[in-house]
Structure 1
């Protein structure tokens, strides 16, 4: 058995709303090139998945919604379709329709299904699909840059084909609302999301008292952290809580979403974390997968809007940790270990609008400390205590 499958379909690069939109898939190429320059990934290792079929999309989305996506994917949209766009959420600046979006997003969903199949069939112990993680899409509406909810479809695939209990862990700075509500009444899918509180940030959900409904009550957990939360408080909020959730639920497999927009540099949130979080957090999930699931772990991408300074480093660290790569120890021993020189030479020029950091982790004191650190830490601790109130001691 190979250790980790890397899933990549070139069509994910066509998931593009417009030239001004913050969701930019160049970040995938930047990450792939960084891993190749490090010698941690070869072109031959990439697994090209099939596209999801309509039957699989229907596990999560309504027939009317899928048909609307198809109609809005044609090259020339007739004026009569504008009403359809408004009905299904494609009239906004966040998630405008674009040509071929049904085909492109079906490829993304297919990638997450392939990642699930690689792990559940035993072909690989772990699988990574960085093109996935479109966690905001609802059953009958697009939302937050997301059209089809590949994470929810992949989880549904696992449930339909393998009957396994799934623990979904969402570390994006925005609440994983679409996945949560896909399984809000399902006791066999446990959702956990750590995110910036919805009081100030899209999508406005993810309160600590959102705990599921019906038979699924008690299988939904949220950890909304305060704006300007830093590394230590974020990791403290995450580790104890998710360890208790995993011990309570005892999953057969973990599906995790790895939006890397909680970094200080990210332009779309207010969290104040450094690259340290993206080194430590995957290690915690990795350990949980081996403790409870025999190692079964499917990781998806997600948000991340500083595509030069944050995303390539964060997603590369995820791959390295999934593979127990020797570079992880080197980075732990030397946080300012340089990035591959050829990668820096390739991107740290006129193509990059900002200075690209030359080291794997961020330099200490690279930005000013938060003066309300103590107050923020205390508030996060209180929220965590409330969230864990009904978990076994």
Structure 2
């Protein structure tokens, strides 16, 4: 059993870019790791270099022909017909120099994390969380589905049941599809209703192990806590999971340009801490997030929660400020950035009344799950 939480990352994320104008061409994993270091929270003795998954490991979920195509894409050897077939170089899934190695490192990290927590413990891999990847094609900026591969590794070790909780603003469709008929895995996703991929509706016939919480624009902290405490935590506790996999996409933040949700970064460490108490094994992944300042601060707070540290300090040390001030982001949001992006780790909370629609969503889910 792991005595202390471990963090998996890789230097591949520092220089790798999806393309100049792509939403993911911003520092995220490397920036979060740098910020954790600047806070004095980097676990040198608990850091693990993320390995590149082998094709054979990827075949546990992904079609071998698709994996071969992804390898050829990195070599620049895909025909136009193959690009269409595999959705590589199409629809926001660009071909770039590390188009196989980068997602395969995230996949290898999630597979390794599952092995590491076999006897108990916690592993954090912020590069993981590529939850849209399909068995035989790229989807939603995701070329491989590392959460699925991590969960399959747990199941192959006889670790079940597993609960997957997806906090991303976008529905975790790829993971849901992979396990919707497997009673050993319960998938829960809280996401913005109607946002791409426009799945994950409240009413469906996929059974009690597929649970979705579609929420409206403006979704704020108090509404998040209401769903967490009233529905998610009781449902997870009832499952009595042997392991929990948490996808911590932070594109639901009010500061993120890719959703219309209004969360502060307060909610993520609260959710992760509460969920971790409900199982002996935990894999905590990253996910979406398209404002580098918001992502790095939120993921640093998540690591603090995982590692049992107090992440509520309002003033950042100078070393941490320097890390954030060294980032150049060309988005319009960066033209007049608030001082708190550079001076504070935690956001002011976004509070408010709980809308009737949120209460009705919780009632419907609880009725459906018994």
- 2:72 & 2:323 partners in 1: Cα distance? 40
Give the distance between the partners of 2:15 and 2:327, measured in 1 at CA. Answer: 23
Q: Find the partner of 2:363 among 378, 382, 385.
A: 385
Shift of 1:22: 0.8
**Superposed, which structure 2 residues align to 1:133-148 within 5 Å?**
133-148=129-144
Which one is further off, 10-19 or 24-33?
10-19
| Partner secondary structure for residue 361 of structure 1 | coil
Please, which runs of 5 or more residues in structure 2 have no aligned partner?
none
Asked if the contact 1:34–1:340 (Cα under 8 Å) also holds between the matched residues in 2, the reply is no
Q: How many residues align?
A: 361
Aligned partner of 2:233 among 243, 263, 276:
243
Q: In the aligned structure 2, how far is the partner of 1:339 from the partner of 1:22? A: 27
Query: Which residue of structure 2 lines up, in the alignment, with residue 151 of structure 1?
Result: 147
Q: Larger deviation: 32-41 or 152-161?
A: 32-41
Q: Is the 8 A contact 1:191 1:221 kept in 2?
A: yes
Structure 1 stretches lacking a partner, 5+ long: none
Cα offset, 1:282, TM superposition: 1.8
Aligned to 2:202: 208
> Counterpart of 2:368 in 1: which secondary structure?
coil
Per-residue displacement from partner, 1:229-248 (whole Å, max 9, x unpaired)? 11111221233211122133
Mark the CA change 1:264 to 1:24 in structure 2 (over 3 Å): closer, same or farther: same
Q: TM-score, normalised by structure 2?
A: 0.91
Q: 1 CA distance for matches of 2:124 and 2:155?
A: 19
Cα displacement (A) at 1:143: 0.6
2:276 to 283, 286, 303: 286
Q: Secondary structure at the match of 2:284?
A: strand
* Pair 1:300 & 2:300 matched: no
CA deviation string 1:171-201 (max 9, x = no partner):
001000000001010000110001111x2x1
Structure 1 pair 12–33 and aligned structure 2 pair: CA distance change class (3 A): closer
Distance of 1:132 and 1:115 partners within structure 2: 10
Displacement of 1:20: 1.1
Query: 1:132-281 alignment to 2 at 5 Å?
Result: 132-197=128-193, 199=194, 201-210=195-204, 212=206, 217-281=207-271
TM-score by length of 1: 0.86
Match of 1:351 among 309, 325, 328: 328
1:146, distance to aligned residue in structure 2 (A) = 0.1
In the alignment, the residues of structure 2 paired with residue 385 and residue 350 of structure 1 have an alpha-carbon distance, to the nearest angstrom, of 43
* Deviation at residue 25 of structure 1 after TM alignment: 5.4
Answer yes or no: is the 8 Å Cα contact 1:167–1:246 preserved in 2.
Answer: yes
Distance 1:349 1:8, change over 3 A: closer
Tell me, what secondary structure is at the counterpart of 2:259? coil
SS of structure 2 residue aligned to 1:388 = helix
1:341 maps to which residue? 318
Q: Once the 2 structures are TM-superposed, how far is the Cα of residue 66 of structure 1 from its aligned partner?
A: 1.4
Question: Deviation at 1:19?
Answer: 1.4
CA contact (8 A) 2:191 2:213 kept: yes
Mapping of residues 55-70 of structure 1, within 5 Å = 55-70=56-71
* Distance apart, 1:285 and its partner CA: 1.6
Work out the CA distance in 2 between the residues paired with 1:40 and 1:224: 35
Offset of residue 312 of structure 1: 1.2
The verdict on how the C-alpha distance between 1:311 and 1:211 changes in structure 2, with shifts beyond 3 A counting, is farther
**Does the Cα contact within 8 Å between 1:106 and 1:148 map onto a contact in 2?**
yes
Q: CA deviation at 1:350?
A: 7.0
Q: Structure 1 CA distance, aligned partners of 2:276 and 2:349?
A: 26
Offset at residue 317 of structure 1 (A): 1.0
**Aligned residue in 2 for 1:113:** 111
